Amino acid sequence: MQSKEHWEKVYASKAPTEVSWFQQHAELSLRLVRETGISLNASIIDVGGGASTFVDDLLRSGYQNVTVLDISGAALTAAKVRLGSSRSARVHWLETGVLDAELPARAYDLWHDRAVFHFLVTPEARRAYIQTVLKSVKPGGLVIVATFAEDGPTTCSGLPVMRYSVNGLREELGDLFVLIKHEREAHRTPAGKIQPFIYCVFRKAVLG
């Protein structure tokens, strides 16, 4: 996976509102979380959350047990500053790459990843990611993964990416994840470009 140095340089050179994946509000992600029906005290982890406003939306909606994981300390600092000391103190922050993270076993009711998985361009990295999900998400827990669609960009932030169909993403995650629903999003970047995404909601098998 790409280096910590790369992402620190990205956030040193651009404001969080200038990166291509910026959303004023993560409306689709938040709706998908709400539609799962999980309780407000469910344990949620936002992988690659960085400076995303998704954590703001979760807190504003009443979710009380939120973890944000990102490889970039600068991105996490931007989110903390935006939230302010009282709100940021309600979040568990993890500065690490997802493949290096030592996450507790069966700790999370819901795993959310918008735009991390598609950066994993080797089979070994994808297998390691999936093993981390299997370890850290509770049996029967929910997994939301959003990636570039088949007609999405081939690179992002100067790095190559994978593109997926719904079936391709389902096959990549494997039989221990049951696809519940999927949606497509036409994300408009701050520069005005349209990037097609797919969002898939899975349930981890109870025996997984």
Instruction: Judge whether residue 57 has pLDDT over 80.
Output: yes
Question: Can you give the C-alpha Rg of the chain in angstroms?
Answer: 16
Contact in structure between 45 and 136 (CB atoms under 8 Å): yes
Q: Which domain holds residue 106?
A: 4-204
pLDDT, average across residues 117-146: 97
Instruction: Judge whether residue 141 has pLDDT over 80.
Output: yes
Residue 151: pLDDT band with limits 50, 70, 90: very high
pLDDT, average across residues 135-154: 97
Q: What is the pTM of this model?
A: 0.94
Give residue 2's pLDDT: 60
Other CB atoms closer than 10 Å to residue 13's CB: what's the count?
9
How do residues 59-110 score in pLDDT, each as one tens digit? 999 999 999 999 999 999 999 999 999 999 999 999 999 999 999 999 999 9
Instruction: Judge whether residue 150 has pLDDT over 50.
Output: yes
How do residues 17-26 score in pLDDT, each as one tens digit? 888 878 989 9
CATH of the domain at 141: 3.40.50.150
pLDDT, average across residues 121-139: 97
Give residue 46's pLDDT: 98
Give residue 177's pLDDT: 97
How many domains, the chain?
A: 1
Q: d(Cα 80, Cα 134) in Å, to the nearest integer?
A: 29
Give residue 162's pLDDT: 97
Backbone angles phi, psi at 68, to 5 degrees: -115, 125
Contact in structure between 54 and 114 (CB atoms under 8 Å): yes
pLDDT, average across residues 137-148: 98
CA angle 100, 98, 104 (to 5 degrees): 75
Instruction: Judge whether residue 208 has pLDDT over 60.
Output: no
Give residue 1's pLDDT: 47
Residue 6: pLDDT band with limits 50, 70, 90: confident
How do residues 152-204 score in pLDDT, each as one tens digit? 999 998 899 999 999 999 999 999 999 999 999 999 999 999 999 999 999 99
* E strand segments, 91-191: 91-95, 108-114, 137-148, 155-156, 159-160, 177-188
Contact in structure between 134 and 76 (CB atoms under 8 Å): no
Give residue 28's pLDDT: 97
